[in-house]
Amino acid sequence: MKKTLLVISACAGSFLLGAFINAPDDPKKPITSEMIDVASRVIGLVFSPAERDSMLDNLESRRKDYDELRKIDLPNSVAPALYFNPIPAGFAMPTGVSSFKQSAPTKFMLNRADLPYYTVGQLGELLRTKQITSVELTRFFLDRLKKYDTQLHCVVTLTEDLAMEQARRADAEINQNKFRGPLHGIPYGAKDLLAKQGYKTTWGAMPYKDQNIEVDATVIRKLEDAGAILCAKMTLGALAMGDYWFGGQTRNPWNTKNGSSGSSAGSASGVSAGLLPFAIGTETLGSIVSPATVCGVTGLRPTFGRVSRHGAMALSWSMDKIGPITRSVEDCALVFNAIYGPDANDPTTLANAPFRYAPVSSLKGMRIGYVRKGFESSYPNRANDSITLATLRGLGADLVPIDLPTGVPANRISFLLGVEAAAAFDDLTRSDRDDLLVRQTKNSWPNSFRSARLVPAVEYIQANRARTRLINEMAQVLKTANVDVYVSPSYAGGNLTLTNLTGHPCVVLPNGFTKEKLPTSITFMGQLYEEGKLLAVAKAYQDATDWHQKHPALQ
């Protein structure tokens, strides 16, 4: 390895590895008391000379352990033996059977000018009534992907041959009245960190641009079982950060001079532009919420462990979540209904809670919380968010102020993500292939991965213990407020980081525009495993507005 890292152990069982001072070309130089002194001060501790001398043998022994550990083949798909559990103490898991009630279809005649922006539910009705075939629909969206990707840079790989094959099969089955459900014959796109046999899975990053992973991600398999049509692998910021990938920057259809945010950059951009009816995104710390906000679409971040991550790139094993990006809340429900559930290939999914969804006609008398600190602070979208609260009151909701827990500052333990990401891409750092990533700023992955090597294993464990406290405190907040759903500014108030750490589900949906005519959003939050209630409330709000029916004008 050309780079010499100042290394402190990231392996539980030792405190630190040591600092290699004045020996940039000799990482095997014996550890000295002076090295330990410098290394310990990096992490804010001081040991006496006698204590440092006593540590030398242990640290030399640990260094040999690390050398042997690095000889073990640990691809990104191998998860740690420790699994994150978002369930607080005393939590009662929802029980019973799942149920799904889709809104009654509205009869209408196909208007091809509106075809790019029909919802999944509307397209399903067109297919069911045979006003259009899946082959016609798939060809239509493939052509749009080809036409507008030159502006938006939202596609990594078109899966055209596969899509047409799947569409022909869907038409044959529909013609034989073998209807698989509301996604049967509907085109979609998948964020290109989900593997599909026969196609590259690039993770948006130059070092992996020719990578083939010959498995089908569980999410893709489930959508295939539901009859959906995979048209494209969509862009993501390299290794799931931002909107810069090895092919450039994915653009926002509302203003193509701007990026689409990330990391589910292509999924949000493509749906917003009417290039696909829905797409699959992922979130670790805002990667569904942020691009959905910027692109003016609707996204569901499910409860941690609700959707299998088998066949997906791992960034943070304790924070990664997979969910749909769509035009409407009910479209999120339709897609989630097809992809959630246990998978033996992902042990974090084995809590088999039911999913029960049914639209509600009124919010009258319903207690809905709102994050007081967020809404009362000064932030860019305050005016639109205030109107959202007024709309909820107008729908009859009883709005209850809540204060998020403060005993554990969420931003002080969010370094957990960086440590896990550094482990997931350890070989990339040690091989120097991190130099191939497009972005090389202080805030980009290469520097983050290197910096994470200095996080002591003890602090990583302590942060996870603090996370347990945060989970339990969050449960107490919701219990005291007696709410199943609360609303939060999408960015202000600290909700985004906190709830990505606790694993709670959210729906983000458009609630207006800025003075620059760019979309804004509001976030609805739910109890763990209660996506059904969350989606029903969010849909009632969305039905009372028309922001989701606004679309960018593409040239």
Residues catalogued as catalytic: 191, 263, 287
Element holding 61 (H helix, E strand): helix 49-69
Sign of CA dihedral 59, 62, 66, 68: positive
Distances (CA, A) of 415 to 164, 211, 316, 425, 459: 44, 28, 11, 15, 10
Contact 8, 17 (CB under 8 A): yes
At 396, which amino acid appears?
G
32 CB burial (10 A radius; 0-12, 13-18, 19+):
middle
Question: How far apart, in Å, are the Cα atoms of 282 and each of 190, 235, 241?
Answer: 10, 12, 11
For the chain, the maximum distance between any two Cα atoms, rounded to a whole number of angstroms, is: 84
Instruction: Determine the Cα angle at 201 with ends 339 and 274, to 5°.
Output: 60
Please compute, for residue 542, the number of CA atoms within 13 A of its CA located in the half-sphere on the CB side: 29
The residue type of 475 is A
Compute the distance between CA of residue 229 and CA of residue 124 in angstroms, rounded to an integer: 13
Terminal Cα-to-Cα distance of the chain (whole angstroms):
48
CB atoms within 10 A of CB 4: 12
Q: List CB contacts of 203: < 8 A, sequence separation 6 or more.
A: 192, 193, 211, 236, 238, 239, 240, 313
- Count CB atoms within 10 A of the CB of residue 178: 11
- Count the Cβ atoms, other than its own, within 10 Å of residue 367: 15
